[in-house]
Amino acid sequence: MSHTEGAESLDFLLGQVCKLHRVRMFTLFEELGLYHGQPPMLFVLWEQDGQTHTELAGRLHIQASTVTKMVQRMEKAGFVERRPDPNDQRVSRVYLTATGHAVREDVNRIWRQLEDETFTGFTPEEQVLLRRFFLQMRENLLRAGGSLEW
């Protein structure tokens, strides 16, 4: 297999696509007062509210210290609140506030918009194939020692 070098390489192109996607995502979510990494936390809490920092870290594949910083920032913005665990006062659990619940429709709308903008012109079959490629790339990089840390 021949490898193209420089600006024509798959690695370079993938990097550009990821950067453009991330910048667009930041722009759209900023409108809601959300920062990168926070929408996935909202999704996890919408599935199951009242998780501990350790549970959130495991579900999001990030460090517990990162969860702590995210929760503090989201708490300050009014999306979540921390409450002590009723069975163990040493543990705090993260709960969505009314604002955290109310933003769900807007977050889903933005994800749909971002997906539409990103994959315009792709057939459903091409999207299925691309998804398989992405899953394989993620697995390859995780196996090589990568992390999903945001």
Q: Which of 117, 101, 128 is nearest to 23 (CA)?
A: 117
- Given a cut of 60, whether residue 1 has pLDDT beyond it is no
Q: Write the pLDDT tens digit of every residue in 101-127.
A: 999 999 999 999 999 999 999 999 999
Say if CB 108 and CB 129 are below 8 A apart: no
* pLDDT more than 70, % of the chain: 95
Q: Which domains does the chain have, with CATH numbers?
A: 9-143 (1.10.10.10)
Q: Write the pLDDT tens digit of every residue in 39-78.
A: 999 999 999 999 999 999 999 988 889 999 999 999 999 9
**147 pLDDT tier (thresholds 50, 70, 90):** confident
**142 pLDDT tier (thresholds 50, 70, 90):** confident
* pLDDT more than 90, % of the chain: 79
Q: Taking the model in full, what pTM does it have?
A: 0.79
CA distances (Å), 142 to each of 16, 134, 135, 139, in order? 20, 12, 11, 5
Q: For residue 130, which phi and psi values (nearest 5 degrees)?
A: -60, -40
